[in-house]
Amino acid sequence: MSSPIDFTALAGARQFDLAQPMKNGMPQSPNHPPFRMILERRHGDMVRSDGGSASNEVIITGGHVGTHVDALGHVSQDGLVYGGIKAESIQSHLGLSEHGIDTFTPFVGRGVLLDITKIKGVATLEPGYGVTADDLQAAEDAAGVRVGAGDAVLIGTGWSRLWDDRPAFQGLDSGVPGPDVSAAQWLRDRQVAVAGGETIAFEQLKPGAGHATLPVHRVLLVDAGINIIETMRLHELIDAGATEFLFVLAPIRVVGATGAPVRPLALVPGS
């Protein structure tokens, strides 16, 4: 069983913003529309009679760009999504009628960071490294915590340190570190509520492999019904030595979308 959080300690809690900043040209998967933000109206384009003016923007983005949550309907296997539902029966040009991101219940509860960089003695895992179930167990032991049913589990690889180096972060040629199938099964067996990581895809991507297959997505989204958080900013949480915290996760409620941007927060109780 997971240990309860002492909410009285949150009065002096340190807040960590776990979202990467969204900006033009940021790293993202080539499989999704690029993020764009432009000022549609600038100050001075229209001036009110009292001298006041305002500016506003147009934002264009895919649901899987920047820090985001995957809806359960994002991935199918052999034509089926979570619950054995035929994918073709729930999709249309208007989106998903079931398992869209609008059906995600905002998460406010216990978060656990399993820092793989700590047990490996590095700041950032090597490209293409596969995080195994044994790694998760070792990180859990090192942290002195126990992942319980309903927890949010974040896997620290240190990869968010590379955010400002787009080619390195995307790892299209070199690969990126992430959980392998054994790690996904470990998370499933622990019955976690959500799982998150720092890379574009919550997967081990070997050098040059790209997104050819996504077995971890299949295990978590299709088989287990566990939502995935991707492109998280975790290195500050890692550097702080945080292991468990109050975690807040509420993606934008876009009806029928297969995913949506999110700004996760971690509140770490003070000592």
Measured CA to CA in angstroms, residue 268 lies from 12, 44, 107 at distances of: 9, 44, 16
pLDDT band at 4 (very low <50, low <70, confident <90, very high): low
% of the chain exceeding 90 in pLDDT: 90
Q: What is the mean pLDDT of residues 176-197?
A: 98
Cβ-based neighbours of 208, under 8 Å, separated by 6 or more: 172, 173, 175
Residue 3 is given by DSSP the state P
3-state class (DSSP) for residue 111: strand
Residue 36 covered by a domain: no
Residue 58 covered by a domain: no
Over 70: is that where the pLDDT of 143 sits? yes
Whole-number Å distance between alpha carbons of 76 and 205: 19
Beta-carbon count within 10 A of 38 CB: 9
Radius of gyration of the chain (CA): 19
pLDDT band at 237 (very low <50, low <70, confident <90, very high): very high
Best CA proximity match to 250, nearest among 133, 139, 110, 104: 104
Helix 133-143 × helix 181-189 angle, to 10° = 50
Token representation of residue 221: 């989204």
Which pLDDT value is given to residue 7? 58
Over 80: is that where the pLDDT of 170 sits? yes
Beta bridge partners of 14: 268
Which pLDDT value is given to residue 11? 74
The range of the structural domain enclosing residue 136 comes to 7-20+63-268
Residue 43 covered by a domain: no
Residue 45 covered by a domain: no
Measured CA to CA in angstroms, residue 238 lies from 37, 169, 262 at distances of: 30, 18, 20
Highest mean pLDDT among 29-38, 151-160, 201-210: 151-160
Which pLDDT value is given to residue 12? 82
Q: State the total domains in the chain.
A: 1
Residue 46 covered by a domain: no
Over 70: is that where the pLDDT of 250 sits? yes
% of the chain exceeding 70 in pLDDT: 96
Per-residue model confidence as pLDDT tens digits over 34-48: 999 999 999 999 999
Which pLDDT value is given to residue 208? 76
Of 5-19, 39-53, 153-167, 168-182, which gets the smallest average pLDDT?
Answer: 5-19
Which pLDDT value is given to residue 211? 72
Residue 29 covered by a domain: no
Per-residue model confidence as pLDDT tens digits over 80-129: 999 999 999 999 999 999 999 999 999 999 999 999 999 999 999 999 99
Over 80: is that where the pLDDT of 10 sits? no
Residue 232 covered by a domain: yes
CATH number at residue 99: 3.50.30.50
Per-residue model confidence as pLDDT tens digits over 90-103: 999 999 999 999 99
Whole-number Å distance between alpha carbons of 37 and 32: 16
Residue 53 covered by a domain: no
Over 80: is that where the pLDDT of 221 sits? yes
